Amino acid sequence: MRKASRIIRIRRSPENPTAAPGTRRAARTAAALAAGVLAVSLTACGGGDDGDKNEGDDKARTNVTLPKLDGETLEVAAVWTGAEQDNFKKVLAEFEKRTGAKVSFVPAQDPIINFLGSKVAGGAPPDVAMLPQPGAIKQAVDKGWAKPLGDAALKELGENYSQGWQDIGKVGGKQYGVYYKAANKSLIWYNAKVFENAGVSEPKTWDELLTAAQTVYDSGVTPFSVGGADGWTLTDWFENVYLSQAGPEKYDQLAKHEIKWTDPSVKQALTTLAQIWGKKDYVASGALQTDFPNSVTQTFTGGEQPKAAMVYEGDFSQVNITEAGAEIGTDAKVFPFPSVGDTPPVVSGGDAAVILKDSEAAQALVTFLASPDAAEIQAKLGGYLSPNKNVPNSAYPNEVQQKMAKALIDAGDDFRFDMSDQAPQAFGGTPGKGEWKALQDFLKNPKDVAGTQQRLEADAAAAYGN
C-alpha cells in the first residue's frame, strides 16, 4: 500500500496550476468539499446499486477501442501489494482478454524512481510504471525515461478526466501520466463497538478528538493505532494537521520549500501532533514496528478488546478492514479528519500510469487505464477510487465508498496533492530518510519539536537544492 494525498478545493489556473487564491476562498471551498465528502456520518453499508449516482452514471461509456496485440508482452511495475495488487491484476487480465497481449506485474519498492533506475541501468525497464507522486513523473521525464502519451490515450483522457487531473500528469506542457487511482486521505476509521461501549460520538474538531480519545482510554482501550513503520503514514498525519491549522497558502509555501521547516507554523503543527503521539498510552505499543496494513487490522480484530479504537488513513483502508473480517459501515465506521484550525482538511492523491518503453501495446494499455472500463473493474472490488468522471457511482460496492467517489468527482478541477508527494523523493518519499525518518524519530520522541524541525529543514534544503 502506498500513500496518496490530499484534496482541497483550490482553483488552479491553466497558466499556473499550482497557484492558490486567497485564504478565505480556499477555506470556504475546503469546507464545502469536506461537507461533500462526508456531510453525514459515513456509517451505512449499502449495496452497490443503492447509493447516489454521479454524472458518470448517465455518461458512462464501455468498450474502449483497443488494437489486437496477439503475441505482445508487457511489464507493469507498481509498489502495490496484497489485495491492492491482486485487484489491479484483474484489470490487467481484462486487458489481456480484449487484446491478446500478455501482461506481467512487477512488484516495485519505494522509492520507485530508484527501483526504475536500476531497471533502466540494466537495460530492462518495465513498459509501464505506476508512479505515486507528481515529483516522480517529473523525475522520470527529466531523466529521459518517460514517453509522451499518444493520440488514443489523449482522447480517452480528455473524455474521462477533468482538466485538473490531466494537468498533474503533464510535464513541460506534454502529457505523460494517466491518473488511474486516487484516494481520500482525510479520514479516521474507528471500531464501532468500542465507541458504542465508551459512549463516544464522532468528533468534528481536534479538541473533540482529544476528548473522545480520553473517553475511549478510560473505557480500557488504547485510542490510536499508528503504522509508524511506514513513514508515509506519519507525513499524512502531519499534513492534515498542518493544512487545517496553518491554512492552504502556508501549505503551498512549505510544499515548495518557500518557507523553512523551522517556521513557527511547523512548530505549532508538531506540537499539536504531540498531543496524541506524546500522550502516554494513547498510541498502541510497537507503533514504529507496525506497518500500515497491521495498523488497520489490529483496530478491527480482538472482539471488543482490539489493540486500538481508531486508525487514521485513507479510503483504501477498506481493503485491510475487510481482510480483518470486519464489515464496513457496521463494525468499521469513519469520520472526516477533524478540523484543527478553521476548516477540516480534505486531501487526495493518486497513482499515474507512465510509459517507459514506447510501443503500440504500452500505449494501448495506458489508453485502457484511462477508460471507464478499466476503472469500473477495480471499483467493484473495493478499496479503490478513480478520478475518472465516467465511472458509474453505482460501481462502488458500498455507500461509504460511493459517497467518497462522488465527492472526488464533484470536486472537479479544485484539488491539491499531498505535500510530501510534491517534494523530491529524497525528502518526501524515501524509507529511512528525509521527512519519513524525521517523523519516525518524532513519533519516538514527541518532545523534540525543535530538533525535528532542524532535521526536516536540513534534509529539505539538501533535497530541494536551496
Of 303, 336, 369, the position where a domain reaches its end is 336
The answer on pLDDT for 69 being more than 90 is yes
Residue 132 lies in a domain: yes
Of 175, 152, 264, 276, residue with least CA distance to 223: 276
Q: Say yes or no: 379 and 328 in one domain.
A: no
Residue 92 has which C-alpha cell? Answer: 490487467
* Enclosing domain of residue 245: 187-336
pLDDT at residue 414, as a whole number: 59
Handedness of CA 457, 462, 463, 466 (dihedral sign): positive
State the greatest distance between any 2 C-alpha atoms of the chain, in Å, as a whole number: 63
Give the number of other Cβ atoms within 10 Å of residue 52's Cβ: 12
User: Of 451, 394, 417, which Cα lies nearest the Cα of 54?
Assistant: 394
Domain for residue 424, yes or no? no
Distance, in Å, from the CA atom of 109 to the CA atom of 228, rounded to the nearest integer, reads 18
- 100 in a structural domain: yes
Q: Average pLDDT in the 453-464 region? A: 97
Are residue 211 and residue 324 in the same domain, yes or no? yes
Q: Is the pLDDT of residue 23 over 80?
A: no
Mean pLDDT of the chain: 86
pLDDT at 412: 73
pLDDT of residue 30 exceeding 80, the answer is: no
Q: Which residues of 98-120 are buried (b: 16+ CB within 10 A; e: fewer)?
A: bbebbbebbebebbbbebbbebb
Residues 290 and 225 in one domain: yes
Which residue stretches of 278-424 are H helix? Answer: 292-297, 317-323, 360-369, 372-379, 399-410, 419-422
Mean pLDDT lowest among 218-222, 358-362, 428-432, 459-463:
428-432
- In this structure, the strands spanning 187-191 and 310-312 are antiparallel
The least confident of 123-127, 416-420, 453-457 is 416-420
pLDDT category of residue 413 using cuts at 50, 70 and 90: low
Residue 344 domain-assigned (yes or no)? no
Q: Please check whether residues 255 and 372 belong to one and the same domain.
A: no
Residues 193 and 291 grouped into a single domain: yes
In a domain, 314, yes or no: yes
pLDDT at 52 exceeding the cut of 80: no
* Domain assignment present for 329: yes
Among 308, 336, 364, residue at a domain's last position: 336
Number of folded domains that form the chain:
2
- The answer to whether the beta carbons of residues 6 and 345 sit under 8 Å apart is yes
Q: How many CB atoms lie within 10 A of CB 151?
A: 9
What is the model's pTM?
0.72
Q: Would the pLDDT of 241 be above 90?
A: yes
pLDDT of residue 151: 98
Residue 2 is assigned to a structural domain of this protein: no
202 and 69 inside one domain: no
Q: Are 310 and 216 contained in the same domain? A: yes
Supply φ then ψ for residue 188, to 5 degrees: -120, 120
403: pLDDT strictly greater than 50: yes
For residue 130, is it within any domain? yes
pLDDT-derived band of residue 157, with 50, 70 and 90 as boundaries? very high
DSSP structure class, residue 327: P
Residues 331, 191 share a domain: yes
| Domain end among 291, 307, 336 | 336
Burial of 24 (0-12, 13-18, 19+ CB in 10 A): exposed
pLDDT digits (tens, 9 = 90+) for 125-140: 999 999 988 888 999 9
Lowest-pLDDT range of 8-12, 121-125, 163-167 = 8-12
Contact 344, 30 (CB under 8 A): yes
Same-domain check for residues 124 and 192: no
Within this chain, do residues 232 and 318 fall inside the same structural domain, yes or no? yes
What tens digit of pLDDT does each residue of 242-269 get? Answer: 999 998 889 989 999 999 999 999 999 9
As given in the structure block, the three cell numbers for residue 361 are 501495446
pLDDT given for residue 2 in this prediction: 43
Rounded Cα gap, residues 64 and 178, in angstroms:
15
330 and 224 in a common domain: yes
219 and 277 share one domain: yes
CATH number of the domain bearing residue 134: 3.40.190.10
End-to-end CA distance of the chain: 31
The cell for 62 is: 464501455
